[in-house]
Chains A and B, each alone.
Chain A
Amino acid sequence: MDGELLSDTFVELTDTMVAGFDVIDFLHMLTDRSVALLDVEAAGLLLADPRGELRVVAASSEAVRLIELFQLQNDQGPCLDCFRSGRPVQATDLAAEAGRWPRFASAARQAGFGAVQALPMRLREQVIGALNLFRADPGAFAAADIRVGQALADVATIGLLHERSMRRRDTLNEQLQTALNSRVVIEQAKGKLAERLGVDMDQAFSLLRDFARARNRRLSELAQAFVDGTETLIGLTRQQPRPGSQREPRA
């Protein structure tokens, strides 16, 4: 593991907590850095909602197939096992996991992954979610990777709480809901932008995030304003409509 990249990453993450913090942007950065730091190809952060459902709040790629892999784990998979037990869960060869997680293992392999790891997000005695890591090649995860991965999961938890005083027990619950709500707004904004520009969801997310950073605005606020119609994203790259797509005049 690149030691300099490791320390740069933690400096960057803690810096972000100080200036213009947006929880979804922060968590997304964390999944991005997880992929850069660890020997993995994809990463996602899942949080449990009040129903106990695991919901993806950030992922290193917004590609539909990857997001689906996270959503599948509500039913079965390493994240669910990790969430229930509060302990790391690993599968070093997904080809051998058909018995343990039949649907998940099959979907993950079809998506091109050979090994998976889930690390718990914990606060004191509560498990609030999981960091999910995917690797293309089967094989054990290095001990150093697991240690750093768990540290990243812990930083994610801290990031969720940093905005307000940690005195009150209510704070974690409030912050969890904020993160979950913000994610929904961002999904709605992605859809609107993807349709407007004729791009896919991954590109739509990148455009929103880049625009927010360039204008020094919080991603969640920008997404809300865009969906509300109070933000027109003037200056965002305008692309030609895709060939064959119909652009109906606005009423």
Chain B
Amino acid sequence: MAAVVAPLAGAARMAVSRQGRIWGLVAAEAANRGGQVSASDACAAAVAAVQVTGGWLSAASGAEPAGHLMSVTDAVSERLAELQLMLGEGPCPDAVGYGDLVLASDLGELEADRRWPVFVPAARRAGAAAMFAFPLRIGAIQTGVMGLYRDRAGPLSDVQLGDALIFADTAALLLISADEAGETAAGSGPGGQPADLAGHRAEIDQATGMLTEQLGVGITEAFIRLRAYAYAHDRALADLARDIVARRLRLGPDPGPSEDGWRDGTPHR
């Protein structure tokens, strides 16, 4: 049996440092700009790190899941974003509509032309030879889309794709954080990195779902409130989620005298 070559991505012990490295790039982008870390910084940092020609970020706007163009890194990106919004066709609308990654490594391929017959010729005229669309989502929470393009055809390497996905996750979290008026990166860890970027826990997703019922809110709002509660009570997100899933803690919608916007329910026996 032939020896199996190294796995797709680094193992868990490297996971924290890979996320940490990417957060560092995003923070550096914000520092260069002289502002607070935002989703746009994640997009700009991604373009540089993943070695594409340009990128853009669209956020949810009212009923439109990706109707608001938030940032672009160059004129071609702006053109590509606008074309897709206008036509309702292209890798980004597909990524938003299906909620899945769309990797079009060669817009000259027959398949791309079949899939997006009006968009592809216009995109190529604008200067794009490859395009990669990343829905910004945490499960059912969808906050927008990040688009990257290259002026020459070819797929992202495994490392580039992995990095791009982490940038996209970071952008999604930053977009959600920015929803809360004035409050960004709630629940920061060392270096201001949002603590819940460190590792995925099923309990966090479950607790978010539970909160939609406990608080009577949508999934995005439930997630914001979960993180805000952890931050306000100085608790690790995963620990808080574990308590909620185990029904040791329940959050209620009644503001009560504390005016926090939530109330701790009576713990269940």
Interface residues, chain A, with chain B CB atoms under 8 Å away? 48-56, 64, 67, 71, 74-75, 80, 83-87, 120, 122, 125-128, 168-170, 173-174, 177-178, 181, 184-185, 187-196, 201, 223-224, 227-229, 244-246, 248, 250-251
Known: A184-B140, A188-B206. 19 other contacts (CB 8 A): A48-B8, A51-B10, A52-B12, A53-B199, A64-B245, A126-B7, A174-B100, A187-B139, A188-B209, A192-B209, A192-B212, A194-B206, A195-B212, A195-B213, A227-B212, A244-B269, A246-B250, A248-B216, A248-B252
The residue in chain A whose Cβ has the minimal distance to the Cβ of B218 is A229
With A190-B209, A191-B245, A192-B209 in contact, do A51 and B139 touch (Cβ < 8 Å)? no
Chain B, 150-192, contact with A by CB distance < 8 Å: what is the 0/1 string?
A: 0000010010011101100100000000000000000000000
Which residues of chain B are within 8 angstroms of A168 by Cβ–Cβ distance? 103, 105
Decide yes or no whether B9 CB sits under 8 A from chain A.
yes
A85 CA to B1 CA, complexed, in Å: 14
Quick check: B161 and A50 within 8 Å, CB to CB? yes
The residue in chain B whose Cβ has the minimal distance to the Cβ of A197 is B213
B102 to chain A, nearest CB (A): 7
A182 to chain B, nearest CB (A): 8
| Residues of B218-269 whose CB lies within 8 A of A | 218-219, 245-246, 250, 252-254, 265-266, 268-269
Quick check: A126 and B8 within 8 Å, CB to CB? yes
Interface residues, chain B, with chain A CB atoms under 8 Å away? 3-15, 18-19, 99-103, 105, 137-141, 155, 158, 161-163, 165-166, 169, 199-203, 205-214, 216, 218-219, 245-246, 250, 252-254, 265-266, 268-269
Q: Among B3, B140, B206, B266, which residue has its beta carbon within 8 angstroms of that of A224?
A: B140
B50 to chain A, nearest CB (A): 12
A168 CA to B268 CA, complexed, in Å: 52
Residue with the highest number of chain A CB atoms closer than 10 Å, among B14, B140, B211, B245: B140
The residue in chain A whose Cβ has the minimal distance to the Cβ of B139 is A184
Quick check: A53 and B12 within 8 Å, CB to CB? yes
Quick check: B166 and A50 within 8 Å, CB to CB? yes
Quick check: B12 and A86 within 8 Å, CB to CB? no
With A178-B100, A244-B269 in contact, do A53 and B200 touch (Cβ < 8 Å)? yes
A127 CA to B200 CA, complexed, in Å: 20
With A177-B101, A188-B206, A191-B210 in contact, do A52 and B4 touch (Cβ < 8 Å)? no
Q: Among A74, A128, A188, which residue has its beta carbon within 8 angstroms of that of B139?
A: A188
Quick check: A190 and B206 within 8 Å, CB to CB? yes
A142 CA to B246 CA, complexed, in Å: 37
Which residues of chain A are within 8 angstroms of B203 by Cβ–Cβ distance? 64
The residue in chain A whose Cβ has the minimal distance to the Cβ of B104 is A170
Quick check: A52 and B208 within 8 Å, CB to CB? no
A168 CA to B138 CA, complexed, in Å: 26
The residue in chain A whose Cβ has the minimal distance to the Cβ of B7 is A127
Quick check: A192 and B213 within 8 Å, CB to CB? yes
A165 CA to B199 CA, complexed, in Å: 32
A168 CA to B101 CA, complexed, in Å: 14
Quick check: B205 and A177 within 8 Å, CB to CB? no
A64 CA to B250 CA, complexed, in Å: 18
Quick check: B103 and A49 within 8 Å, CB to CB? no
Which residues of chain B are within 8 angstroms of A195 by Cβ–Cβ distance? 209-210, 212-214
A192 CA to B8 CA, complexed, in Å: 33
Can you list 10 A-B contacts with CB-CB less than 8 angstroms, sorted by A residue number? A51-B162, A55-B200, A74-B15, A74-B199, A87-B4, A173-B158, A177-B165, A181-B100, A227-B140, A227-B219
